[in-house]
Chain A
Amino acid sequence: AQTVTQSQPEMSVQEAETVTLSCTYDTSESDYYLFWYKQPPSRQMILVIRQEAYKQQNATENRFSVNFQKAAKSFSLKISDSQLGDAAMYFCAYRSAPGYALNFGKGTSLLVTP
C-alpha cells in the first residue's frame, strides 16, 4: 500500500512571506497523481493543486506551486505571498493512475501571523 508522509505537523509563516510544506510518498508505481488539499476550520476540503506523475513540469496555481521530485518521491507545496486566509490544515494525497482512492498524509497545520 502506498503511504504518504507529512513530516511537519505544524508550520508558521508571516503574512506576505513564503512557506514550503513537505510531503514524501512511497510507491512502486510509475503512473499516479498527487494532490494538495486545504481544510480550513469550516472543514470543507478544498483542492489546491494537482500533479500528474508523467509530467515533468511542476504544477502552479497562482500563489501555489509544487516541487515534484519523482525519483526522490517528494512533493512539496510552496505558498508565496502568504495571506491570513491561507491558514488551514494542508493534506498531501496520492492516487494511483487506475485507482479510485486517495491516500492522505496526516496533514500540516499552517498558521499565518500578521
Chain B
Amino acid sequence: KAGVTQTPRYLIKTRGQQVTLSCSPISGHRSVSWYQQTPGQGLQFLFEYFSETQRNKGNFPGRFSGRQFSNSRSEMNVSTLELGDSALYLCASSLVIDRVPETQYFGPGTRLLVL
C-alpha cells in the first residue's frame, strides 16, 4: 500500500505571497492532520480533517487554513507569508474508528522557505 504523499517537496516563496500544499493519504485513511516543524518551536499541530470537516485546530493565526476533498486528499494554504512560516510541513493520515483517528502515519513533508 502506498504511503502518504506530499507535494511539492520543496518550495521557495517571498514574504506576502501565498502557498498551497497538498497531501494524499494512505488509501482508506479518512483523517488527515497537518503539523509544522521548526527548530525553535518543534512539532506543532495545525489542524485535522475528517469527512471534509475541520474537527480541531491548533494555535495558529487565520492565515493558515485547509480543506479536505471527498477522496480524503487535503490541502493547506498559508496566505500573506511571513519569514517565520519557513518550516517543514508534515501531513499525517490515519484510519478512523468510531470517529476517532487511529495511529497517524506521516508523509515526507514539504519544506517551505520564505525569503
Residues of A within 8 A of B (CB): 33, 35, 37, 42-47, 50, 91, 97-107
Contact = CB atoms under 8 A, between A and B. Distances in A.
A100 B109 contact: no
Those 10 A-B pairs whose CB atoms lie nearest each other, nearest first: A45-B106, A101-B45, A104-B43, A100-B48, A100-B56, A44-B108, A106-B42, A43-B109, A50-B103, A100-B101
A47 to B, nearest CB: 6
29 contacts: A33-B103, A42-B108, A43-B88, A44-B106, A44-B107, A44-B109, A45-B90, A45-B106, A45-B109, A46-B106, A47-B104, A47-B105, A50-B103, A98-B100, A99-B56, A100-B31, A100-B48, A100-B55, A100-B101, A101-B56, A101-B58, A102-B35, A102-B43, A102-B92, A102-B104, A104-B43, A105-B42, A106-B42, A107-B42
A9 to B, nearest CB: 12
Interface of B: 31, 33, 35, 42-43, 45, 48, 55-56, 58, 88, 90, 92, 100-101, 103-109, 111
Q: Is the interface of A mostly helix, strand, loop or mixed?
A: loop
Contacts of B92: 45, 102
A47 B55 CA distance: 23
A35 B31 CA distance: 18
Nearest to B99: A98
Given A47-B105, A102-B45, 18 more contacts: A33-B103, A37-B106, A43-B109, A43-B111, A44-B108, A44-B109, A45-B92, A45-B109, A50-B103, A97-B100, A98-B100, A99-B56, A100-B48, A100-B55, A101-B58, A102-B33, A103-B45, A104-B42
